[in-house]
Amino acid sequence: MQMPSTKTLYSYWNTIRGSRSAPDRRDIDPTRIREALANTFILELDEADRFSFRLAGSHLCTSYCRELKNRSFTGLWHERDMDAVDTLIRAVTEDHAVALVTFQGSTALQTKVSFETILMPLRHNGSTHTRVLGAMTALETPYWLGVQPIMEQRIIGLRLIWPDEAQSEEPLRQAVSNIGSDLDFTSHLGAPTAMPATVFGRSARRYAHLAVIDGGRN
């Protein structure tokens, strides 16, 4: 996690959930995360069985130059990445993982900026299947951000964090496989082959153009 808003929201989420896999929507006190609110969002499962924005902070709406409420979250992503995003959301809502994604957003003029996004399970009416808490923050703030809307975004890195260390690699393998469906992978199982690597001084596994760093409570 690179951005203060990401760290703030994750720390708060992890604190209020206690021993549960996810906190309840009613547990969230916006005054406790003031510095992250402008970058925070809540997704809800809509009638089309897709996740859309129920709430979106002002910085998010400014980046896209439009109100995001009721707009599709999956629809923001490049067609190549839609299946991968769906896989990550299932890992969050069903397996109670935390997904950390970096992506590159592009405008109609092909100016680009990178973002960090976190997705965390959120309980609603006793279930974690219909709500997701998240934050999305630009890694830098170019002068044109908020004037030229982000029109397309593509994943450039992803990581699954298992706060309770109940780790399963399968959702991440599926997501990486979906992203890399147009790339040349070599594996007798047809899945991406993990290659050892070191990223920012930490041990990682590399799948094609992605470096996967195992997470945990630390």
Task: Give the whole-angstrom CA distance, residue 211 versus residue 124.
Answer: 33
* Tokens of residue 38, six digits: 């402008």
Residues facing 157 on adjacent strands: 102
Q: What is the pLDDT of residue 212?
A: 54
Give percent of the chain above pLDDT 90. Answer: 65
Place of tokens 């957003």: 105
Q: Where are the alpha helices (DSSP H) in 65-146?
A: 82-93
Model-level pTM? Answer: 0.77
Q: What's the CA gap between 39 and 56, in Å, rounded?
A: 7
* Whole-number pLDDT of residue 49: 84
Q: Residues 37-91: pLDDT tens digits? A: 999 999 999 888 899 999 999 999 999 999 999 999 999 999 989 999 999 999 9
> In Å, how far from its chain's centre is CA 194?
21
Domains of the chain: 4-182 (3.30.450.20)
What's the pLDDT tens digit per position in 146-168? 999 999 999 999 999 988 765 55
Distance, in Å, from the CA atom of 53 to the CA atom of 71, rounded to the nearest integer, reads 6
Place of tokens 């007798």: 188
